[in-house]
Amino acid sequence: MFYFQVPDTQTGGFGNDKLKLLGAQDEYAKLCGLLHLKANARPEQAYAKLSAFQRARGLIADGMAGPYNLALLDDAKSGDAARNASARWLKSMAPERLTKIFPYTLRMNLQIYAPYVFAALDAAGYTPNTAKGKVMCQLALATIRAESEGFEPIAEARSMVNSAPGRTVFGLYDAPGAIAKRLGNTQPGDGAAFKGRGFVQLTGRGPYAKLGAQIGLPLEQLPHLANLPEAAAVLLVQCLQNNETKLLAAMQRNQLAAARKLVSGGSHGLERFKDACKQFSAVLAPNVAAASRSSPRGFNFARFTDSKKRFSLPVRRDRVDLRDLPYRPPLGSLSAEYPAPQIVREYWRSYRVGCAAYCPQEILDRRSQKSQPAHAL
């Protein structure tokens, strides 16, 4: 995980601070190689190349490079986007297939954020060609369905769970208190600073510090990073990885409530969690092997980002169906000439008399010659 922290122009400014590279410093040379830079290139150069790559691929240019960005960079450099596709969720699972698991989610969100989760699962070794990989992918998707059904990293909103009426927002998370002790919050304002974020709704100073150290990001100092797509996906997979043995045992015994509690510490969204697990088992899991051999129908976001050809949606125009049009009355009711000749003969002289009071005679005569109908003369 890499994050380029841009100087804050409102406080320090570029003149008083420099761009900082956060994350796995020992792997910076690898990132530079993928960006076609020297191993000791300055962070400013790497940040500029990474941002340009993200914008060119239609990705979120947030200055963070994680499993998804690194996978795309590796494929772009190797020139073989289909390499080892059967062993990667990113290549074998089209985001559109998730609509059965997420029936109330915008398809756009699935296309944007699902590849981040699939790449994080691949990087952790939870690949689709292993039984453990299928179960962990099932748990990851079910957890997202329970925590953030919109399939988008979100921040926790004010509610009766975290805020007392008439008190500070997220004040129930602040110390002292039983909730604050469980979350590891020790200072005033920790409740708002370390509120739930990301796909898994990471909450509390303690989990931020622990998981931040595990993924190599200073989440305790920069908690907002947990809402960036790369970090949110890696945090989700890391939470599952920390409880891997217990989660696999619970899923083997079909104890979905126990599996849900291991991730969230409670039963929030349990029904959505169970439904997502059921849909994954019934629809997606049996077709993973087939999907790796043949391209799935519909739009594959990962395949599109690797393609250098002009993209066109695989759709056809609907047939014309006149039954879909509203009723329109026929045009036969319009007269061939309007106004009718008798109306012109009746009102033309009074019209001239009325205009004479406001128009000079020469203008009136000129107008009469140009605009008077031939049959009214």
Q: Tell me how far apart the alpha carbons of residues 184 and 324 are, in angstroms, rounded to a whole number.
A: 60
Beta strands at 64-65 and 154-155: parallel, antiparallel or unpaired: unpaired
What class, spelled out in words, does domain 80-306 have in CATH? mainly alpha
Q: To which residue do tokens 């699962």 refer?
A: 121
Residue range(s) occupied by CATH 1.10.530.10 in the chain: 80-306
Q: Tell me how far apart the alpha carbons of residues 102 and 99 are, in angstroms, rounded to a whole number.
A: 5
Q: Tell me how far apart the alpha carbons of residues 143 and 263 are, in angstroms, rounded to a whole number.
A: 8
Q: Residue 66: CB partners within 8 Å, gap ≥ 6?
A: 1, 2, 116, 119, 120, 230, 231, 233, 234
Q: Measured between alpha carbons, how far is residue 91 from residues 87, 97, 124, 131, 175 in Å?
A: 8, 13, 15, 18, 46
Average pLDDT, the chain: 80
332 vs 231: which has the higher pLDDT: 231
Q: Tell me how far apart the alpha carbons of residues 202 and 200 are, in angstroms, rounded to a whole number.
A: 6
Give the range among 113-117, 163-167, 226-230, 367-371 with minimum mean pLDDT: 367-371
Q: Which tens digits make up the pLDDT trace of 119-150?
A: 999 999 998 888 898 999 999 999 999 998 89
Q: Which tens digits make up the pLDDT trace of 163-211?
A: 888 888 888 888 888 888 989 989 888 899 999 999 999 999 999 999 9
Residue 364 near residue 371, CB atoms below 8 Å = no
Position 114 scores a pLDDT of 92
Nearest Cα to Cα of residue 174 among 189, 196, 153:
189
Residue 185 near residue 191, CB atoms below 8 Å = yes
Of all residues in the chain, the percent with pLDDT exceeding 90 is: 33
Structure tokens at 164: 């007392």
Residue 13 has pLDDT above 80, yes or no: no
